[in-house]
């Protein structure tokens, strides 16, 4: 398990888990650093990613939000991304925005972590 400021990054059953552990704001450089830690955790192999951010206020700058969908390393490493959030309206917004701004890999928001894991495993 790797630590990044107020979050943890670990791999379980071939899935990289990013868990927010406190309210925080992330910028582009933070996401580059997190991606580097994910690459180390995965041994450089492509992986499905689950971001569990349903317990804390997790904010990203606009540049950080776009990084995983634009950065060469993210496109090479991330097979699919699931985000677990606690609000149905936010989940709908995430999924709508994904349709408008097609990411380079499958992306979906969930309110239930087990459903997110099942979806990611179907993308491996």
Rounded distance, CA 44 to CA 106, Å? 19
pTM of the model: 0.85
Tens-digit pLDDT profile for residues 14-26: 999 999 888 888 8
Which segments of the chain have a pLDDT < 50? none
pLDDT of residue 101: 67
Domain ranges of the chain: 2-122
Residue in 28, 69, 29, 25 with CA at minimum distance from that of residue 49: 69
Pick from 108, 65, 104, 103: which is nearest to 85 by CA?
Answer: 108
What CATH number does the domain located at 2-122 have? 3.30.750.24
pLDDT confidence of residue 95: 67
Contact 82, 110 (CB under 8 A): yes
């Amino acid at each position: 398990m790797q630590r990044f400021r107020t979050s943890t990054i670990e791999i379980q059953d071939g899935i990289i888990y990013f868990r927010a552990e406190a309210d925080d704001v992330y910028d582009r450089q933070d996401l580059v650093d997190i991606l580097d830690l994910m690459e180390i955790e995965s041994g450089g192999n492509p992986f499905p990613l689950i971001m569990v951010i349903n317990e804390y206020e997790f904010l990203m700058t606009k540049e950080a939000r776009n990084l995983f969908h634009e950065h060469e390393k993210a496109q090479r490493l991330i097979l699919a991304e699931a985000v677990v959030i606690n609000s149905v309206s936010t989940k709908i917004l995430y999924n709508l925005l994904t349709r408008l701004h097609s990411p380079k890999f499958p992306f979906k928001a969930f309110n239930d972590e087990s459903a997110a894991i099942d979806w990611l495993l179907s993308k491996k």
